[in-house]
Amino acid sequence: FRKPLIVMSPKSLLRHKQCVSSIDEFTKNEFMRVIPEQSQDIVPPAQVRRILFCSGKVYYDLLDYRKEKKINDVVLVRVEQIAPFPFDLLLQEINKYPMAELVWCQEEPKNSGAWIYVRPRFETTIQHSSRHVDIKYVGRGPSAAPATGSAKIHKQETDKLFHSAFSEHHIT
């Protein structure tokens, strides 16, 4: 039977130059539950210091920031399917980068994005890996509202998010 294609996306991604797929990706390939790092400009896996797991529009913002700052030791892994959770594919990504700090990054407030759902699932995945680390969170703090209502505060929070995500310091 036929399945409808439902796209839930901000309008900005409809025009984003990097947010495209070829016809073959729709007809010859299957859905990618996890999209691993795509760049060829990243250091070897043993030298990667952080994996940023994310979903949605924030990926493109992180990608632009990484390119602008010429950072090559942080990889971006897109989790395209949150449920059912892709334990197997994320385990491969975690094991691929043995020295990397693991971080979930989201633009939404901590209490309204995917973090609450993915955290225990990442913890289960990590238990099955050869690593004994925790997954950290980078994003906005908890909030009763999805947006600040102030463009200036929104920009400050966004800048802080990117700085924290790519910071040289360990995330606590």
**What token pair was written down for 171?**
């995330």
Q: Which of 75, 10, 8, 91 is nearest to 39 (CA)?
A: 75
Return the higher-pLDDT residue of 149 and 55.
55
The pLDDT of 12-16, averaged and rounded, is 78
pTM over 0.85: yes
Burial class from Cβ neighbours inside 10 Å (0-12, 13-18, 19+) for residue 30 reads: exposed
Maximum alpha-carbon separation in the chain = 51
pLDDT at 127 over 80: yes
pLDDT at 102 (0 to 100): 97
**CB–CB of 78/31 below 8 Å?**
no
Distance of alpha carbon 109 from alpha carbon 64, whole angstroms: 21
Which residues fall within 8 angstroms of residue 37, CB to CB, at 6 or more apart? 75, 76, 77
* pLDDT, tens digit (0-9, with 9 covering 90-100), for 57-108: 999 999 999 999 999 999 999 999 999 999 999 999 999 999 999 999 999 9
Give the dihedral of Cα atoms 54, 57, 62, 64; nearest 10 deg. Answer: 150
* pLDDT, tens digit (0-9, with 9 covering 90-100), for 34-64: 999 999 999 999 999 999 999 999 999 999 9
Q: Which of 113, 42, 35, 123 is nearest to 79 (CA)?
A: 35
Which residues fall within 8 angstroms of residue 3, CB to CB, at 6 or more apart? none
Half-sphere exposure of 150 (CA within 13 A, CB side): 4
| Residue whose token pair is 């040289």 | 168
Q: Which of 128, 11, 113 is nearest to 53 (CA)?
A: 113
pLDDT band with cut points at 50, 70 and 90 for residue 152: very high
